[in-house]
Chains A and B, each alone.
Chain A
Amino acid sequence: MPKAKLESQKKAPKTKAKVAEVEVKVPGPLEELEQKHERKNVLMQGNEAVAYGALDAGCNFFAGYPITPSTEIAEILARELPKRGGTFIQMEDEIASICAIAGASLAGAKALTATSGPGFSLMQEGIGFAKITETPCVVVNVQRAGPSTGMPTSPSQGDIMQARWGSHGDSPAIVLYPDSVKESYELTIRAINLSEKYRTCVVLLLDEVIGHMRESVLLPDLRKTRVISRIKPNVPPHWYKHYDKDQKYLSPLASYGEGYRFHVTSLTHDALGFPTNKAAEAAEMMARLRRKITYNIRDLVQIESHQMEDAKIAIFAAGITARSAKAAVAIARSEGIKLGLLRPLTIWPFPDEAVRKMLQDVEAVIVPELNQGQFIREIKRLTRDKSEGNVVGLTKVNGQMLTPNDILRKVKEVM
């Protein structure tokens, strides 16, 4: 690199990352619905809520490939995006879909795709691309029972670890997990917001049951959510560094076609985006990817603490299993059992702090999940003073849900 260039880059002013937060501007589909319906309550499916959430968050690009139980998201966006001048394209497969949304994002779009297990597996290389190149995008995975083609219309929580570790190499992940139709809407917006803010691929994991379930939602309630968009560079092109860092590792992002003419590569790269094999530069890139998550845990982690104040036994569960757990808590409380629920809305990064506190406060933790024991590994990782015996798993992988009674029975076993 010529010296002169370096000098000029040194003079570049330090810009403090300030993420733009704006109200939803265009009348979203929910506003349209509100006008149509006298009542402010509508019956809505989880997948519908995801599609509407995406539109309200400013999503203007969808590329996808049909797969049960996520297809409604694509179908709704095929209908709605052209109305708003956005792009919908059905690609030839899921690999093409994730690549197309990453390309669109680099050209400035807020881009999203939706899939299920088999497609999520195909997308893993592309998810890694979005992470190493720090390209904002969102992948919705409406989980179905696996492995392989499995049971397309049956619920499963089998992709919790895949969402964390599915793409090769070692990189952090942001994964959100709603437990209702309303929350599917909210967390879709949050997923897009976080992808823009942290410049990465954010995954939204839905349970099949939530994707397909219809619930009554109060519309005005939903439209309070704020929208975040990526920060644009305010320096002249020759000062622009695609991976510039400020104290929080959130750096401005230019788009193709705006005069910045930057380079993006899936290879390990330096701050300008050019490939490098230098150990120091490689270490710096990896640290940057890690720090932007670990320095911002407070902003990223969301949990719900339900009846935990005086709980003697706690349940740790997400998504549809947390719904059953909540019902189990109500029944247990009516019988005088001090049961509580800790529910992560952000599953990655894992809510270590809240889980540590839970482990200190209660005598036993029950971890119900629709897989063969994925969350429980994380919880056992955090047991320090207690024996692991106080953390009890409850699993089901036959394509059916865990019922409140299943959970209650386990509670009574450990009492």
Chain B
Amino acid sequence: MANIPQKVVHDYLRHDKKFPHVWCAGCSNGIVLGSIIRGVASLDIHRDDIVMVSGIGCSSRMPVYVDFNTLHTLHGRAIAFATGIKMHKPHLKVIVVTGDGDCTAIGGNHLIHAARRNLDLTVILINNNIYGMTGGQASPTTPHEAFATTAPYGNIEPDFDICQLALGAGATHVARTTAFHTQEVQKMVSDALTHPGFSLLEIVSACPVIFGRLNKKGGPAQMMKDMRDNSIPLSAVDKLPPEKREGKIIRGTLRKEIMPEYTERYADLVARVAAMGEEA
């Protein structure tokens, strides 16, 4: 039993891609990739019908390794490319893999508008609180007072709550967990993929090599333990006194609501226009 998931992952990796991958030892990205694959494998979706789209960043290097239709685009623009793919072939399952900088700084505009439209995309945002690829500059989710190479005296900016941002923009499915909670990631990925509308899945993750070093987080294993110890499930939040909730990562599905989906609305429009033509 124990090695079955591993085989699943192996089965979904591209063997003509020259491994090893680009990620540092101890990085969460590979763990998240494993969970995404298991989440996909738990569903009855043919891999020909899956497109994985990413922007630019460490996390955005993911598509090249998996045996789906894959697209590695421009920094911040994954959702815009994904919009084109989904609108032209609505039957495809489009997964966007993106980073906190990619999706909430340079790509923030595309995020809020895809959420507003309720376009059926599964956006998996790997939030490592830093610009990993470019070597540790501050991102919109770098915590207040944390260090980054462009915040050498500590970050004076407040940070984004990504899930609140997505909720505010109208995302119909919003969930959060951490890279430590692999089973939860897997479950949330399959939930998001079966949700008929815009899903945002925030996966809080560890970048031990850059964020960890700059902020003395104690290495990969310690950062994993921190994700375990500093997070609480949504179901437990109400039972805790406010001081115990302070600074905790809340894991769980924050919203799941069925609303009219954008490609369906567009199909309705096409049908309506066709009917008008017949009447005329």
Contacts and interface: CB of A to CB of B under 8 A. Distances in A.
Given A99-B80, A257-B48, A272 B16 contact: yes
Interface in B1-54: 14-18, 47-49, 51, 53
Which among A63, A91, A256, A262 has the highest number of chain B CB atoms within 10 Å? A256
Which residue among A97, A125, A266 has the maximum number of chain B CB atoms within 10 Å of its CB? Answer: A266
Interface in A10-61: 60-61
Interface stretch (B182-190, B238-246, B268-276): B268-276
B64 A274 contact: yes
B16 A1 contact: yes
A267 interface: yes
Interface in B257-280: 266, 269-270, 273-274, 277
Interface string B60-87: 0001100111111110010011111101
A63 B87 CA distance: 10
A90 B95 CA distance: 22
11 contacts: A89-B266, A95-B80, A102-B81, A103-B53, A103-B73, A106-B85, A125-B74, A258-B48, A263-B63, A264-B71, A274-B64
Given A262-B69, A264-B71, A257 B49 contact: yes
User: What 3 A-B pairs are tightest by C-beta distance, nearest first?
Assistant: A103-B84, A99-B80, A104-B84
Given A1-B18, A82-B270, A82-B273, 13 more contacts: A2-B15, A83-B273, A85-B270, A100-B83, A101-B84, A105-B84, A111-B88, A256-B51, A257-B92, A258-B48, A265-B71, A272-B16, A275-B72
B215 interface: no
A296 to B, nearest CB: 27
B109 A92 contact: yes
Interface of B: 14-18, 47-49, 51, 53, 56, 63-64, 67-74, 77, 80-85, 87-89, 91-92, 109-110, 113, 266, 269-270, 273-274, 277
Contact of A107 (B56, B85, B266, B270): B85
Contact of B88 (A108, A266, A267): A108
Contacts of B88: 60-61, 87, 103-104, 107-109, 111
Contact of B81 (A82, A99, A260, A274): A99
B92 A263 contact: no
Contacts of A103: 53, 71, 73, 80-85, 88
A257 B83 contact: no
Given A87-B88, A126-B77, A263 B64 contact: yes
Contacts of A107: 51, 84-85, 88-89, 92
Contact of B73 (A111, A129, A256): A129
B146 to A, nearest CB: 29
Given A87-B266, A125-B74, A265-B72, A63 B84 contact: yes
A226 interface: no
A267 B64 CA distance: 11
A246 interface: no
Interface string A109-150: 101000000000000011001000000000000000000000
Given A83-B273, A257-B69, A95 B92 contact: no
B83 A95 contact: no
B262 to A, nearest CB: 9
Interface residues of A, number: 47
A96 interface: yes
A336 interface: no
Contacts of A236: none
B87 A99 contact: no
A256 B81 contact: no
Contacts of B14: 263
Contacts of B68: 261
B91 A266 contact: no
A96 B109 contact: yes
B119 to A, nearest CB: 10
A100 B87 contact: yes
A169 interface: no
Contacts of B47: 261
Interface string A244-273: 000000000000111111111111000010
B72 A256 contact: no
A264 B88 CA distance: 18
Contact of A274 (B17, B82, B89, B109): B17
A391 B162 CA distance: 59
Contacts of B274: 83
Contacts of B72: 263-267, 275
Given A96-B110, A274-B17, A87 B64 contact: no
A103 B72 CA distance: 11
A5 interface: yes
A388 interface: no
A262 B72 CA distance: 11
Contacts of B81: 99-100, 102-103, 106
A107 B89 CA distance: 7
A93 interface: yes
Contact of B113 (A96, A258, A261): A96
A129 B73 CA distance: 8
A108 B72 CA distance: 17
Nearest to B277: A83
A129 to B, nearest CB: 6
